[in-house]
Chains A and B, each alone.
Chain A
Amino acid sequence: MKDALGDVQSVLVLGGGSDLARATCRKLVQQRAARVVLAARKPEACQTIAAELEAAGASDVHTVAFDATDLSSHEAFIASTFDRFGGFDVVLVAFGVLGDQARAEHDGAAAVEIVQTNYTGVVSVTVPLVERMRAQGHGALVLLSSVAGERVRRSNFVYGSSKAGVDGYYQGVAASLAGSGVRVTIVRPGFVHTKMTEGMKAAPLAATPEQVGDAVVRAIARGNEIVWVPPVLRYVMMVLRHLPRAVFRRLPL
């Protein structure tokens, strides 16, 4: 259970291999979290992270198999995971792919793959997830979204549009869960140095996974609904969102 200071005890991560989830879990374990369940397509690849969390003080770390694109498995996955562990204080929806924009512009299958994971996959698993969270009457449901969805750019619009969709979906989920005891947090990081962005040129205001982790932990404690990392992006995006299209297109973004 979350305590008076906002510290939590149990966490489920969908996308257990994510660098941002890893940094977040490390912070949560340093506080009070004892149980972390890492769900990933290849659970064996999460062993390093599991060991790291155990070393940080978690007493009860598990890895389970979860395939974001195998939509028909989602309902049973959520049911069995919640039944097995009796519920979670935090569920972190962290899976997603960046994809190859250039290829996705010409290869329909590549574009669909990005959208299948980032949007359809999240929606599919969120439906049963919300049911279980609502029934337990408490908890934090955290989505790792992105600034890319706030105003979709030429340079990565397939990824950006999938994030725009999922961000909007979670805003609706948040509204539907008002008064249920479950708090929804939508995290919108800018460029973060992770294995997903390895080799890319860092954008201005780039953040580290640790900064994202700190922001998520604080948002869970306080029940904040929308979090920008770094926080100044809220204002940067406020401006970008209102730029006329003709100007926005000319920006080197």
Chain B
Amino acid sequence: MPEDRLLTGWGRTAPTRATVHTPRRLDDVVARVGAPNARGVIARGLARSYGDAAQNAGGDVLLCTDLDRVLAIDVEKGLVTVEAGVSLDTLLRVLLPLGWCPMVMPGTSYVTIGGAIASDIHGKFRHGTFADYVDRMQVVTPAHGVSTLDPDGTPDAFWATAGGMGLTGVVTDATIRLQPVETSRIVCDTERARDVDDCMARMLESDHKYRYSVAWIDCRATGRDLGRCVLTRGNHAALDELAPSQRSAARTYSPHALAATPPWMPNGLLNGLSIRLFNEFWFRKAPARPRRDVQSIHRFFFPLDGVRGWNRIYGTRGFLQYQFVVPYGAEHVVRAALERLSAARTPSFLAVLKRFEHGSRSTIGFPIEGWTLALDIPIRTRLGTLLDGLDDLVVAAGGRVYLTKDSRLRPELLEAMYPQLGDWRQARAALDPNGVLCSDMERRLDLTGAGRSRS
């Protein structure tokens, strides 16, 4: 039964009310896209987008998490076909024991495959995005109903839908190419870097030895310690890299949450002091000398999944994530962002630096070759001015912010950040000529160019 609910993204900001439908079969999706609410319809999965990408004020929202069947697994070729509401967590639980693993894994396992495609997500893997490993997908579009897209046969529609923020159609299933793994573990090297420059140099020098790499930055440290980093990089462990005692259960994957955040948290819990203490702890936890250890995939990729509902620790005002990418050569933007944050005494709970060696092929996909910095920041007064200033630096350097994380960008910067926006709009207009698919993000940023300042 449809139900009216207030929805927000992961950042828990700007709630709006929508009519939530929970499709269980393809026909349910077709029915909703075919008979739209006047304010349109958007698909929603596990709601890990930080901002307003998967909410639709006054309209319909299709909560797709009940489209949760694994349809086919080809253990010879390493292909899996799943419905769009299947989570990465489910996928790993099914596939790892069979010796297969997705190529691209983000920072949380609680994303759906539909969402992963619509955001064309990336991860600690530098050589491609999620949609690069999607062989085909089934999409319900307003123009063509149920249709199958693949990168060779229908490249325009495929690469507008991948990374298309759900505005071209509702993804209902997909076939994903996998990588073979001997174990469900990662051999991880952890080292400290004294500042961002040192960290970047190390990444450029030796990232090629690792399949996955990420650096955590302490942006609460001041003075000499500003931008000190912990670099963690890893490869899938081969069977003989495991301790003999681990080998019998080499491919098991059964993580469980260690703790859950209470439903109500006081405001101001994450303040300058607590964030500083946490960052100090995180830095001290990393070994002073480089260390190698074997970690579970869960611990390596999804450390925050251990605390269920951790977004609630930010209190009722919520938080945002500011993630941008700038091309190689624009390292100064990364430094400037850290310095300005530090100077404004704006606490960032988590700052994560990664590299891309390939851009997204999606027309409005986020990754380009370069550095990407992601900062989790509690909502506070005057944060807008600081981030608007950073946007200007990012645009000037030929970079962009990540739409999936965005909740406050100035709409007028969109075209400068996404030069292929015109191509995307064209492909989208063919798939949804009447603008049936709509979200609060679409209204706020005018992604489709339908009109400024719609409410």
CA distance A4 to B379 in the complex (A): 8
Cβ distance A173 to chain B, nearest Cβ, rounded Å? 16
Query: Main secondary structure on chain A at its contact with chain B?
Result: loop
CA distance A150 to B273 in the complex (A): 41
Is A67 an interface residue, CB under 8 A from the partner?
no
Residues of chain B at interface, number, CB under 8 A? 33
Is A86 an interface residue, CB under 8 A from the partner?
yes
**Among the listed stretches B9-17, B195-203, B232-240, B343-351, which one makes contact with chain A, having 4 or more residues with CB under 8 Å of it?**
B9-17
- The reply to whether B14 and A137 form a contact with Cβ atoms under 8 Å apart is no
The residues of A that contact B318 with a CB separation of less than 8 Å are 4
CA distance A60 to B451 in the complex (A): 12
- The 8 listed contacts between A and B (C-beta, < 8 Å) are A1-B444, A7-B384, A35-B453, A137-B58, A138-B16, A138-B58, A181-B57, A181-B58
- The reply to whether B453 and A34 form a contact with Cβ atoms under 8 Å apart is yes
> Restricting to A52-84, which residues have a CB under 8 Å from any CB of B?
59-60
Cβ distance A217 to chain B, nearest Cβ, rounded Å? 11
- The reply to whether B452 and A136 form a contact with Cβ atoms under 8 Å apart is no
The residues of B that contact A86 with a CB separation of less than 8 Å are 451, 454-455
Is A149 an interface residue, CB under 8 A from the partner?
no
The residues of B that contact A3 with a CB separation of less than 8 Å are 13-14, 51, 407-408, 444
- The reply to whether A9 and B408 form a contact with Cβ atoms under 8 Å apart is no
The residues of A that contact B58 with a CB separation of less than 8 Å are 87, 135-138, 181
Is B113 an interface residue, CB under 8 A from the partner?
no
Is B335 an interface residue, CB under 8 A from the partner?
no
> Restricting to B33-60, which residues have a CB under 8 Å from any CB of A?
39, 51-52, 56-59
Residue interface mask A123-138, B partner, CB < 8 A = 1: 0000000000001111
Nearest residue, chain A, Cβ from B50: A4
- The reply to whether A4 and B14 form a contact with Cβ atoms under 8 Å apart is yes
In the complex, the 7 A-B pairs of residues with the closest C-beta atoms, listed nearest first: A181-B17, A137-B58, A4-B407, A87-B455, A4-B13, A137-B57, A1-B444
Is B312 an interface residue, CB under 8 A from the partner?
no
CA distance A135 to B407 in the complex (A): 23
The residues of B that contact A138 with a CB separation of less than 8 Å are 14, 16-17, 57-58, 440, 455
Is A170 an interface residue, CB under 8 A from the partner?
no
- The reply to whether B455 and A137 form a contact with Cβ atoms under 8 Å apart is no
CA distance A86 to B446 in the complex (A): 13
Known pairs A136-B58, A138-B58; A10 contacts B455 (CB<8 A): yes
- The reply to whether A59 and B452 form a contact with Cβ atoms under 8 Å apart is yes
Is B320 an interface residue, CB under 8 A from the partner?
yes
Residue interface mask B12-24, A partner, CB < 8 A = 1: 0111111000000
Residue interface mask A168-182, B partner, CB < 8 A = 1: 000000000001111
The residues of A that contact B440 with a CB separation of less than 8 Å are 1, 138
Contact of A87 among B13, B317, B320, B454 (CB under 8 A): B454
Contact of B384 among A1, A2, A31, A137 (CB under 8 A): A31
Is B400 an interface residue, CB under 8 A from the partner?
no
- The reply to whether B17 and A60 form a contact with Cβ atoms under 8 Å apart is no
Cβ distance B353 to chain A, nearest Cβ, rounded Å? 23
Nearest residue, chain B, Cβ from A179: B6
> Restricting to B419-455, which residues have a CB under 8 Å from any CB of A?
440, 443-444, 451-455
Cβ distance B5 to chain A, nearest Cβ, rounded Å? 9
Cβ distance A239 to chain B, nearest Cβ, rounded Å? 28
The residues of A that contact B452 with a CB separation of less than 8 Å are 34-35, 59-60
The residues of B that contact A236 with a CB separation of less than 8 Å are none
Known pairs A34-B452, A138-B455; A4 contacts B410 (CB<8 A): no
- The reply to whether A136 and B57 form a contact with Cβ atoms under 8 Å apart is yes
CA distance A32 to B440 in the complex (A): 16
Known pairs A31-B384, A137-B59; A1 contacts B14 (CB<8 A): yes
The residues of A that contact B15 with a CB separation of less than 8 Å are 181
Cβ distance B237 to chain A, nearest Cβ, rounded Å? 40
Cβ distance B256 to chain A, nearest Cβ, rounded Å? 31
Cβ distance A126 to chain B, nearest Cβ, rounded Å? 18
Is B383 an interface residue, CB under 8 A from the partner?
yes
CA distance A86 to B6 in the complex (A): 21
CA distance A60 to B412 in the complex (A): 14
> Restricting to A1-35, which residues have a CB under 8 Å from any CB of B?
1-7, 9-10, 31-32, 34-35
CA distance A136 to B40 in the complex (A): 11
Is A88 an interface residue, CB under 8 A from the partner?
yes
- The reply to whether B444 and A5 form a contact with Cβ atoms under 8 Å apart is no
> Restricting to A202-239, which residues have a CB under 8 Å from any CB of B?
222
The residues of A that contact B4 with a CB separation of less than 8 Å are 179
The residues of A that contact B59 with a CB separation of less than 8 Å are 137
Is A167 an interface residue, CB under 8 A from the partner?
no
Is A139 an interface residue, CB under 8 A from the partner?
yes
CA distance A3 to B318 in the complex (A): 12
- The reply to whether B57 and A1 form a contact with Cβ atoms under 8 Å apart is yes
Contact of B17 among A59, A180, A222 (CB under 8 A): A180
The residues of A that contact B443 with a CB separation of less than 8 Å are 1
